[in-house]
Copies of this chain bind each other. A is one copy, B any other.
Amino acid sequence: MLDSLFNPVGVAVIGASGKELHIGNRVIKNLLDFGYKGGIYPINPKADEIRGIKAYPSILDVPGQVDVAHMVIPAKFVPMAVEECGKKGVRHIIINSGGFSETGPEGAEIETAFLEKARAYGIRIFGPNCQGIINSDPAVRAYCNFTFTFPEAGHISIVALSGGVAEVIHQGFSAMDVGTRIYASNGNACDISIPEIIRYLADDDGTRVIVTYVEGLKDPLGFFEAAREATAKKPVLAMKAGRTMEGAKAAASHTGGLAREDMATDLIFKKAGIVDFRDEGHLINAAAVFGSQPVPKGNRVGIITNTGGPAVIATDILVDAGLMLPPLSENIKTMLSGKLYPEATVSNPVDVLATGTADHYLACLEAMMADDSFDCVLVNFVTPFFVDTESIARAIAQVNLRQIKPMVCNLMTDRRQWASTVAILKSAGVPCFALPSDAARALGALVRYRRILDRKAGRVRTFGDVDADGARAILSRAAARKILAADQVYALLESYGIDVPDWRMADDIDGALAAAEAIGYPVVVKADAEAVVHKSDMGGVAVNLLDADALKRAVAGMIERIDVPNLRFFVQQYVPGGREVILGAKAEPGVGHLIMFGLGGIFVEVLKDVVFNLTPVTDAEAREMVDGIQACALLDGVRGEKAVDKAALIVLIQRLSRLVTDFPQIKELDLNPVMAFENGAVAVDARIAL
């Protein structure tokens, strides 16, 4: 579908202008300067030519095929122009102009109007209010964009709504002399979407790496699915910003209160196998490595250096990123024997000394490439005036071209004085950085990608024992309530196989006594009514009631204290001991639910030691959640306590995931606490909001 957008045989510019500072002129200049291989058709009823190219009064007058028409005209004229493009058989329209939905309802109406026409003619719209696309493929050279950074041909493709950030990334590559394959920034994205473009790039053979930036996802599930398909084919690197802009929403539950506003995007990134970044500089540097280097088999890195301190800095960053620096194997030591200066440090890092020559570098590189004890190499190379730095660069370049294991280079030099040395490395595709931290972090990202590739996604268990019909009936009866009644809550949990203590509902003291008799003492009693929101604060909870007298006093006290209509009493078996944990779910519109797990009590209230994932949670993900809290050692038993049944918690997370997935009307759900025992786990208090 998007093939002719990125590989157009002809490009028209509706609103082409003779004025230098007009976008309708710049796009034509860019197409010309970049060496576009197709037909260029300026559309302007008042001009014979623009920048020396024959202009046409209307798109209908263009003789050749037009795959892409730019529109650089006021918003109000766009619907009519789309109509004309339809008649001409134009396949894609890049609307650079603004004045649409981004400005308010009036603009949104125009957007709806032109979209309707576009659909009628089968035209796809890119934008509006956008920069456009670039394709650096030598056979195409399409610069359908009004920006000013001309990419080298390359293997990294960039896609983002935000033109500003897409361009920052693009400029970052350009400053490093790293090429860009396809660039797409689609502004309002009223038709052609980011997920659609990601799918296209996933199938584009020229694209080795997809880079994207998002502030919020318009269609989170669509993005997730496209990204997951893409990551199965090639690395997708992404950054999300706008983390701190939004305040936390008022929430009716712990889970709601603890879930950060933008958490879903992070979880989507993770679940889709995206390599995510918090800093656009790190993203740019990593992409340069992903675009030129093979993926390492593991996390063992060898460092070759001709200066000490920068290798120390690189080591810190590598270790922080989860890489290991194994010692040199005997095999490598043998390979290096007699090949370095006697004063050289033959360990990891290998210090070949400032006076180290090309032969020294080559010996180290070949040894590390050949020996199985390393997965990747970081070269730390300062350019002293007294050695032949060009030869060293050629040695590094030569090894890199073999693409045996990934390598990066921290090239410490004055890039103006040592331009030819720099050029040798760059032309061989060695990713070169000016700071040891940058080189190390970029290599670290590549190793992170290896871990993502090796990660087991796990499977979504379906649980044949759940009673979905029963649950549906409970929820439809409850539909009028925002907060479910206690009997509804526990019946619902039971229908999905979630263990709860034995319970009964009662309307009064006698009912409560009968319930307790049936359950067996000791019991817990909880006041229940639609108006009772925080039952503990209202004196609506009494635990460990040992006999009828105690129960009677407790219920009588509640009746006295809590003056609300339809007050009932939830009586349940008292379950002492166990380790308190909390589980929860929160609906995330357009995505599903966030599922939360953590330790209860102060761990959730004070330390906020909780982890999240998105529905549907797989078995592997549930295990990762249980093992992912900071205090997870407590689950394994410390200070002589017994370990709790982690397997039961892992199943419980999955049952909860299944429940809220089946019933998306559940807005928030807390199981707090769940008592985890040596065998099994029981939800002793719960709360569900629709």
Contacts and interface: CB of A to CB of B under 8 A. Distances in A.
A661 interface: no
A634 B386 contact: no
A74 to B, nearest CB: 14
B606 A638 contact: yes
B22 A412 contact: no
B606 A165 contact: no
Given A148-B385, A633-B606, A634-B606, A167 B412 contact: yes
A265 to B, nearest CB: 13
A312 interface: yes
A9 interface: no
Interface in A151-173: 160, 162-168, 171-172
Nearest to A311: B164
A111 interface: no
B313 A175 contact: no
A286 to B, nearest CB: 14
A605 interface: yes
Contacts of A1: none
Interface stretch (A236-244, A360-368, A564-572): A236-244
B165 A243 contact: no
A280 B436 contact: yes
Interface in A162-193: 162-168, 171-172, 174-175
A149 interface: yes
A307 B171 contact: no
A67 interface: no
Greatest chain B CB density within 10 A among A172, A383, A435, A639 is at A435
Nearest to A380: B164
Nearest to A282: B437
Interface in A607-649: 607, 630-631, 633-634, 638-639
Interface string A199-229: 0000000000000010100000000000000
B412 A168 contact: yes
B386 A280 contact: no
Interface in A395-453: 412-415, 417, 434-438
Contacts of A250: none
Contacts of A146: 385
A427 to B, nearest CB: 19
A244 B310 contact: no
Contacts of A312: 162, 215, 241-242, 245
Given A167-B382, A602-B639, A638-B602, A244 B319 contact: yes
Interface in A32-52: none
Contacts of A254: none
A105 interface: no
Contacts of A281: 281, 435, 437-438
A574 to B, nearest CB: 19
A279 interface: yes
A563 to B, nearest CB: 24
A320 interface: yes
A652 to B, nearest CB: 22
A215 B312 CA distance: 8
A163 B278 CA distance: 31
Nearest to A165: B309
Nearest to A239: B313
B606 A316 contact: no
A667 interface: no
A560 interface: no
A21 interface: yes
Interface in A269-319: 278-281, 284, 307-310, 312-313, 315-317, 319
A268 to B, nearest CB: 18
A164 to B, nearest CB: 3
Contact of A434 (B163, B172, B243, B639): B172
A148 B414 CA distance: 8
A103 B309 CA distance: 17
9 closest A-B pairs by beta carbon, nearest first, are: A162-B309, A164-B307, A165-B309, A244-B319, A164-B309, A21-B386, A241-B313, A241-B312, A606-B633
Given A163-B309, A165-B309, A280-B435, 4 more contacts: A165-B313, A167-B412, A215-B309, A607-B630
17 contacts: A22-B386, A148-B383, A148-B417, A162-B309, A164-B308, A165-B309, A168-B309, A168-B310, A171-B413, A175-B434, A213-B309, A241-B313, A244-B319, A281-B435, A281-B438, A607-B607, A607-B630
